């Protein structure tokens, strides 16, 4: 489907703590664009660190999980 993207955010997880970071449409359109954001990892983590990219389009959502050790 070629539905426009309504929003994109990243949920950052460090051990058992999370923080939500919104991303912004940096170029293009909601149908064909680049979403961008930056963050500094200030959350303490000793074992695991992850970032979940969440995409919302209308009533549909999708996500990609990235985990680091």
0.85 exceeded by the pTM? no
How many C-beta atoms surround the C-beta of residue 59 within 10 A?
A: 7
Residuewise pLDDT in 10s, the chain (69 residues): 578 999 999 998 887 788 899 999 999 999 999 999 987 766 666 777 889 999 999 999 999 999 877
**Cβ-contact 31, 2 below 8 angstroms:** yes
* Residues in Cβ contact with 33 at an 8 Å cutoff, skipping those fewer than 6 apart: 5, 25, 26, 27
Instruction: Tell me what pLDDT residue 44 has.
Output: 66
């Amino acid at each position: 489907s070629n539905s426009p993207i309504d929003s994109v955010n990243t949920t950052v997880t460090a051990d058992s703590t999370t923080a939500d970071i919104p991303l912004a449409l940096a170029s293009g359109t909601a149908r064909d664009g680049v979403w961008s954001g930056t963050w500094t990892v200030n959350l303490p983590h000793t074992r695991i660190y992850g970032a979940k990219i969440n995409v919302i389009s209308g009533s549909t959502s999708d996500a990609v999980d990235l985990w680091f050790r």
